[in-house]
Structure 1
Amino acid sequence: MSLINVTNLTFSYDGSYDNIFETVSFQIDTDWKLGFTGRNGRGKTTFLNLLLGKYEYRGTISATVNFEYFPFEVTDEQSNTIEVIESIYPDYLHWQMMRELSLLRVLADVLYRPFATLSKGEQTKVLLAALFLKENSFLLIDEPTNHLDMNARKIVSDYLRSKRGFILVSHDRAFLDNCVDHILSINKTNIEIQKGNFSSWWENKKMQDQFELAENEKLRKDITRLSTAAKRTANWSDKVEKTKLGTKNSGLRPDRGYIGHKSAKMMKRAKAVEARQQSAMEEKSKLLKNIENSERLKISPLSFHADRLIELEKVSIFYGEKTACAGVSFIIEQGDRIALYGKNGSGKSSIMKLIGGENITYTGTFRKASQLTISYVSQDTSHLRGNLTGYARENDIDESLFKAILRKLDFSRIQFDKDLSAFSGGQKKKVLIAKSLCEQAHLYIWDEPLNFIDVISRMQIEELLLAYSPTILFVEHDREFCKNIATKIFEL
């Protein structure tokens, strides 16, 4: 066991006026298994890069271990996998590598195949195995689940549970709950560490937020009451002070000493009330700084004149001589929320593209109701360029509504002026989802919509789908999301 100490860490990118981190301090035990959570754009990957020494910063980061980052960059994917491993860790022992691959349920023959021929899931597992061969290293694992199907996520999560000494960035709640023992949360104003898994951290956060909201309301009422009392006491003091002069033509001489004493006493009371008011205001200012704004999202699904929207009967899809999927049969009816399951490469995206209207070669029977309006969210975000205003115009959606949805998904106004190509992976996916939420449709088709998207935004999207019940066909490997949303499951 050793410690990683972060003291007064302050960092901002060149040319930026806003600090991503400001005087952040905390301590990490290198035996911990830390889940790293926080909303998109808060700086999770930036913090990992600071640990790796990639940027200059103010403050100190001290550690007696080396840091290793996942995913590794593979420069030559045409090399055999065993050569890729050797380029990452030349001194590895073969038997240790075989042990790690066995734990990850990867067959040994992948070592002698070109790395490019491995599925994305196999590539992820091989690189994780290579990562855990490194001794005396603290491992920084950045979103390993994005190319894993649900079954592979369970395997990798079980694998990580048997390890120790890492920070894991993931937005999959079930995945985190299974394999971490601490949560490192990047909040609006600080970074904090809490023992436990994601679910226990989230429950504690909700209780803390509720306490702060109640305390804030109590202090708000106290401040109003004290402000009124201070003004009333000060007015009484002024009135008493004026009686020193006596009543005109009364012929009576007031006791100025007594009146002055009474006035001073009342003024002192007013000052005490003002001091209590100031103290309450200072206490109030300490609250609500880390409460996440997760306003309710809205969607405007269209009602269709018939129940049956889509029918596939023994559909097979082809790309040249390659068969993407074969003999697929299912029906989509109005009100269905259908999760499409299947291993990576089983043809889920191909089915969705066919239904979405792309020109795809297929056999079998495919029926789509006439005049059916579909809103489609693709896996791919690489085409995003330009600014949000131009994107809204190109896609014929209401710019004000589009930006309002992004604000609810935790976009800052500064983000609105940036080029979409500079957005983080999660922010790009939010752009596609916000576009879909602006579109009135009979059927929504979302292909892995939650890749890279933070947990709180996932919960917002869940609440939306449960509240409005649009007809939706989706592919998603987040087990918790599927459990909460799907009314039907079709497995390829």
Structure 2
Amino acid sequence: MSMIKVTNLTFAYDGSYDNIFENVNFQIDTDWKLGFTGRNGRGKTTFLNLLLGKLEYSGTITANVEFEYFPFRVEHKENHTIDVVADIYPDYEHWQLLREFSLLRVSEDVLYRPFESLSNGEQTKVLLAALFLKENSFLLIDEPTNHLDIHARKLVSDYLKGKAGYVVVSHDRAFLDNCVDHILSINKTDIEIRKGNFSSWWENKQRQDNFEMAENDKLRKDVKRLSEAAKRTNDWSHEVEKTKNGTRNSGLRVDRGFVSHKAAKMMKRSKSLEHRQQSAIEDKSRLLQNVESSESLKISQLAYHKHQLVELDRVAIQYGDKEVCRDVDFAIEQGDRIAIYGPNGSGKSSLLKLICGENIPYSGTLRVGSQLKISYVSQDTSHLRGDLSDFARSNGIDESLFKSILRKLDFSRLQFEKDIASFSGGQKKKVLIAKSLCERVHLHVWDEPLNFVDVISRMQIEELLLEHSPTILFVEHDSEFCNNIATKVVELEG
């Protein structure tokens, strides 16, 4: 056991006026299993790069261990997998690799296939196995779940549960709950560590947020009351001052010594109230610094003139000699929230594209309602670039509404001035989701919309779908999200 100590860490990117981290202090036990969470764009990957020594910073990071980062960069994906593993860790023992493969349910024969021929899930598992071959290292695992289906996520989570000495970035609540014993969270103003899994951290955070909001309301009322009392006292002292050189309405002379004493007393009281008011304002300013805004989102879906929107009857999709799915039967009716499950390669994305009107080779019967308007969110964000205002105009959506939704999803106003190509993966996904929410359609079709999207935004989207009950067909591997949202499930065997 050893400690990783971070002291007075301050960092900003060149040309930026805002520090991403400022005077951050904490320490990590290298035997911990840490889940790393925080809103998109807060600097999770940046912090991992600071630990790796890739960026210059002020302050100190001390550690008696080496850091290893996942995912590894594979330069030659055409090489056999066994050679890819050897490039990552030349001194590994073959039996140790097979032990890790067994835990991850990877067959030995993948070693003798080109790495690029492996599915995304298989590639992830192979690289994780290679990562855990390295001893005396603290492992930095950056979003390992993005290319894993629900079953593979559970398998990898169980695998990590049996390990120690890592920090894993993930936005999947069930995944984190199963495999971590501490949470490292990037808040608005600091980084904190709490013992427990994600659910216990979230419960504590909500309790703290609710306490701070109640205290804030109480102090706001105190400030208002003290301000009004100070004003009254100030008005009274002015009235008393007027009597020092004059008479009362009765015409009697006033005792100036008494008046001066009373005026001084009122002035002292006014100063005391002012001091208490300022103290209350300072106490108030310490609150709400890390309270996450998660305002409700809205969706306004068009009503379709028929109850049934789409029907598939014994649909099969085949690319050349490869049949990816067959005998698919289901209907989409108004108000349905349908989740499509299935292992990677089972045709989930192809089905969504087929329903959206893409030229996908299929057999069987597909009936799509006449003049049905569909909004589609793709897995792919690589095409996103340019200005947000231009993006809104080119897609025919209301710019004010579009940006309002992004603000609610934790975009800063400064973000609106940047090129979309510079956004994080989660921020790009939010652009596509916000666009979809702005579109006036009968049906929403979302393909893995939550990849890279932070946990709090996922909860906002959940609340939206539960409150407004739009008709939606989606593929998503976040089991918590699916369990909360889906009213029907279509499972593809693959």
1:454 corresponds to which residue? 454
Tell me, yes or no, if the aligned pair for 2:4 and 2:61 is still in contact at 8 Å: yes
- Superposition deviation, residue 192 in structure 1: 0.7
Task: Quote the Cα distance in structure 1 between the aligned partners of 2:132 and 2:405.
Answer: 41
CA shift, 1:252, in A, is 6.2
The structural deviation recorded for 1:5 is: 1.0
Q: Within 5 A, what are the aligned runs for 1:181-200? A: 181-200=181-200
TM-score (norm 1): 0.97
Aligned to 2:60: 60
Q: Secondary structure at the match of 2:239?
A: helix
In the superposition, relative to structure 1, how do residues 248 and 407 fare at CA in structure 2: closer, same or farther (>3 Å)? closer
| 1:155-177 CA-partner distances (Å, limit 9, x unpaired) | 00011111111111000000000
Does the aligned pair in 2 maintain the 1:246–1:252 contact within 8 Å? no
Q: Distance in 2 between matches of 1:279 and 1:353?
A: 60
Matches within 5 A, 1:39-78: 39-78=39-78
Q: Tell me what 1:366 maps to.
A: 366
Instruction: Give runs of aligned pairs for residues 423-438 of structure 1, distance below 5 A.
Output: 423-438=423-438
**Secondary structure class of the residue paired with 1:344:** coil
For residue 480 of structure 1, report the CA deviation from its aligned partner: 0.4
2:313 is matched with which residue?
313
Residue identity matched to 1:226: L
Q: Which runs of 5+ in 1 are unaligned?
A: none
Counterpart of 1:131 in structure 2 is 131
User: In the alignment, what sits opposite 2:22?
Assistant: 22
In the TM superposition, what is the alpha-carbon distance from 1:253 to its structure 2 partner? Answer: 5.7
Count residues with an aligned counterpart.
492
Residue 403 of structure 2 is aligned to residue 403 of structure 1: yes
Q: Which amino acid aligns with 1:459?
A: M
Separation (CA, whole Å) in 2 of partners of 1:165 and 1:441:
48
| Aligned-partner Cα distance in 2 for 1:247–1:393 | 73
Residue 249 of structure 1: how far off its partner (Å): 11
Q: Offset of 1:384 from its aligned partner?
A: 0.9
Q: How many angstroms does 1:472 deviate by?
A: 0.7
Query: Helix, strand or coil: the match of 2:316?
Result: strand
Distance 2:63 2:143 in 1: 23
Deviation at 1:333, TM superposition (A): 1.3
Q: Secondary structure at the match of 2:121?
A: helix
Secondary structure at the residue paired with 1:147?
coil
Q: Where do 1:185-264 residues align within 5 Å?
A: 185-247=185-247, 254-264=254-264
Distance 1:249 1:30, change over 3 A: closer
**Aligned: 1:484 with 2:480:** no
- Report the counterpart of residue 5 of structure 1 in structure 2: 5
Contact 2:248 2:254 in 1 (8 A): no
Measure the CA separation in 2 of the matches of 1:417 and 1:274: 41
Alignment-derived partner of residue 33 in structure 2: 33
TM-fit CA distance, 1:250? 8.2
Of stretches 315-324 and 67-76 in structure 1, the one that deviates more from structure 2 is: 315-324
Rounded Cα–Cα distance in structure 2 between residues aligned with 1:448 and 1:476: 5
2-structure distance, mates of 1:63, 1:144: 24
| 1:211-244: CA deviation from partner (whole Å, max 9, x where unpaired) | 1111111111111111111222233333334433
Comparing 173-182 and 409-418, the one that deviates more: 409-418
TM-score by length of 2: 0.97
Counterpart-to-counterpart distance in 1, 2:220 and 2:76: 62
- SS of 2:28's equivalent? strand
Q: CA deviation at 1:266?
A: 2.2
Q: Give the drift of 1:254.
A: 4.4
Deviations 1:233-270 (A, max 9, x none): 23333333443335289896644333333322222122
Q: CA deviation at 1:281?
A: 0.6
Does structure 1 residue 93 correspond to structure 2 residue 116?
Answer: no
Preserved contact between residue 317 and residue 361 of structure 1 (Cα < 8 Å): yes
Return the letter of the residue paired with 1:245: N
Cα 1:43/1:194, change in 2 over 3 Å? same
Secondary structure of 2:404's partner?
helix
Contact 2:157 2:178 in 1 (8 A): yes
CA contact (8 A) 2:372 2:442 kept: yes
Q: State the Cα distance separating 1:321 from its structure 2 match.
A: 2.5
Structure 1, 150-159 or 109-118: larger mean CA deviation? 109-118
Matched, 1:141 2:133: no
Specify the code of the residue in structure 2 equivalent to 1:101: F
Pairwise CA RMSD: 1.4
Q: Measure, in 2, the Cα distance between the counterparts of 1:491 and 1:253.
A: 96
Q: Give the equivalent residue in structure 2 for 1:376.
A: 376
State how 1:465-476 maps to structure 2 within 5 Å: 465-476=465-476
Contact 2:325 2:347 in 1 (8 A): yes
Identical columns (%):
75
Q: Distance in 2 between matches of 1:322 and 1:258?
A: 102
Aligned to 1:345: 345
Distance 1:27 1:211 in 2: 27
Aligned residue for 2:290?
290
